[in-house]
Chains A and B, each alone.
Chain A
Amino acid sequence: MMLSIVLPTGRVFDEAAEVLREIGLPTGKLDHKGRSLVIEDGGWRYFLAKPMDVPLFVHSGIADIGLAGSDVLWETNATLIELADTRRGLCRLVVAGPQTVAPRFMGHESALMWLKVATKYPRIADSHFSSKGVQVEVVHLHGSVELAPRLGLADCILDIVQTGATLEANHLTVLEEVTPVSLRMVASRYGIQRGWSSILPLVEKLLDVTKERSPQGE
């Protein structure tokens, strides 16, 4: 039985491939993938997809397993089984904006009412501010979110931050931490029923290597 795994292209692809290597899956062909989006290697089939599409590939049953950021999983809210946290692809989901907006985040939450928030994550933005009892205006962008406050399109942004260099370059500072983000291994409900005997050893191996990598051995 050939199992299929969908991997995110772009920024996290290398880390996703590294996770596969660590848990003993064949990754030779991934190193020379070219423009191919379907790669078969040693009894495994890999699909390459935009990070935001990975959950849907797994949810719909096209792939049995996927590697997706926890930010993407939260945003897409697909029905999936989250098998393990790889502790790779670490970054943070934050609210950031110019210093002039900072006072609104320091006082009572009512000061945040009708804040204009530019983001690639409209569902997360809505859920995050709703949980504070605050209604905001979400401006859904597909990229270059950092431009929005600078051009007057929004007061602040909700986005992922790795080093903070892009924020700094655009004169933005972190106003609020929303959640840490990492790469997660997920499976479809059908996938775990179909291939659990093949999936379980992968999860166990992944938990072992993440434990080794963790400084506390946790």
Chain B
Amino acid sequence: MKMNRIPKGCKNIGAGLAEAMERCRASFLSAFASYGYCPFWPSGLQLLETALDKLSPYLKRRIIPLSSPHGEPCCLRTDITLGVVAYCAAHHPPHERPLRISYVDRLFRIPSSPSYDIEGYQLGAELIGWEGRGADVEIISLLLEFLEKLGLRGYRLVLGDANVIATALEGVPTPISEELLSCLQDGNYSAYYATLKKEAIDGDRRKLLQALPNLKGAKNVIDEASVLFGSFEPLASLKSIADSLEELGYGSISFFDLGLVRELGYYSGPVFDIFLEGVGVPVGGGGRYDRLLAQYGVLGQAVGFALNLERLASALSRSDSDAVPKLLLWCGLSSPSDTVALARHLVSLDIGVEMSWHNDASVALDLARQRGLSWWCDASARIVKSTKDQTALSLDEWLLEVRR
């Protein structure tokens, strides 16, 4: 068989993973639409001048440039938030804010080792122009509600705050504070401590900076940090978010990392990462990015997040493969119209159905096994069989069973 090759770093996604990705996409857009988030479809190309002017230093290094057929220097879409903010700033006057936007789309970036992927899929949401303390809690809690509805298990939210680190570094000469920040961003704690050791930093501040990356864990690390800071003031946002998440029942999945730095110079307040069980790197995250908003002449807060759709869907297909009962419906001696009518009825009961028009029941049963479907149904006899052990039930009994 001849195969058409595709460029290295690109993918055709089908079968179970595509199905899981579509399930995440549909569930995400619908969950956020219920709370007033409008879908947004960004342009596939971005002007290079805009990307170079507005993207974070990390993303600037990952731009894939090209020229449009009109001769404009462009890049493939590197980041969706940029498109969202630019659109909102240009199309919505101040009295229309706050704006709530959700998106699911493809991104293109120069791969970062050890990955080879140049294209990826992202889902995300942005709450733009809201100057109230609930905005962070709104977006984080909606994200957690969505993950919960997906049926994922073992995920965790890790929160930090760019302002906490900035306060800890107050008074430290700029080159040293930049070096320390960069060490934290790169996850190089040994370089962080080596820098701290060789620089002249006063006693209390040194003690605070020494402790900062170690303050990881449950909500009590905020109290521990307040002792080192001498007050709760720099921790106020984080504490307020922590209290709200606890009240909403998310206390057990919320963790805090006061050394958490996401994309230097881009985030300006609370930041967070989402981890899935057993995956070394975050599936995504977000935070407050008021500075980008200001660059577009919009005053106020912006908070948002983005998740890697493919990674999320992989975890979903691992943890929840039988979430929707599915069966292969064999027409048997039943007429096509009766079979289709029965299929419609089953779909209306939230059961996934694939029809088989083959004359031979055993071929249809093999097909069900090949598809990884747990159930096979003879439409004319209204009998359901398990594809694993051949146990049979009447369709009515089976419906009672799966719907229970």
CB within 8 Å of B: which residues of A?
A: 55-56, 58-62, 76-85, 123, 184, 188-194, 196-197, 200, 203, 207, 218
Contact = CB atoms under 8 A, between A and B. Distances in A.
Contacts, number: 75
A200 B187 CA distance: 15
Given A77-B113, A77-B114, A193 B190 contact: no
B158 A193 contact: yes
Given A59-B280, A81-B187, A191-B280, 9 more contacts: A61-B279, A78-B113, A80-B187, A81-B189, A83-B189, A84-B189, A123-B113, A194-B156, A207-B193
A191 B282 CA distance: 11
Contacts of B282: 189-190
A147 to B, nearest CB: 27
B190 A84 contact: yes
Interface in B171-222: 187-191, 193, 197, 214, 216-217
A27 to B, nearest CB: 23
Contacts of A191: 280
B113 A83 contact: no
Contacts of A193: 156, 158, 216, 255, 257, 273, 275
Q: Lowest 3 A-B CB distances belong to which pairs?
A: A61-B280, A188-B280, A81-B187
Contact of B281 (A62, A184, A190, A207): A190
B278 interface: yes
Given A189-B275, A190-B275, A196-B217, A82 B281 contact: no
B217 to A, nearest CB: 6
A55 B280 CA distance: 11
B216 A61 contact: no
Contacts of B112: 77, 79
A58 B275 CA distance: 14
14 contacts: A56-B114, A58-B280, A60-B279, A60-B280, A61-B279, A77-B112, A79-B280, A80-B187, A82-B190, A189-B282, A190-B279, A190-B281, A193-B156, A193-B216
Q: Is the interface of B mostly helix, strand, loop or mixed?
A: mixed
Q: Which of B114, B216, B255, B280 has the most CB of A within 10 A?
A: B280
Contacts of B216: 192-193, 196
Nearest to B183: A82
A56 B191 CA distance: 21
A11 B9 CA distance: 34
Given A82-B189, A189-B282, A192-B216, A76 B114 contact: yes
Interface in B268-313: 273, 275, 278-282
A79 B217 contact: no
Contacts of B197: 218
A188 B273 CA distance: 13
A71 B280 CA distance: 21
B260 to A, nearest CB: 9
A114 to B, nearest CB: 25
A55 B115 CA distance: 13
Nearest to A60: B280
A94 to B, nearest CB: 22
B214 A200 contact: yes
A192 B190 CA distance: 14
Contacts of A77: 112-114
A83 B280 contact: no
A59 B114 CA distance: 9
A190 B280 CA distance: 5
B251 to A, nearest CB: 16
Given A123-B113, A193-B255, A61 B190 contact: no
B190 A85 contact: yes
Contacts of A192: 216, 257
A77 B191 CA distance: 16
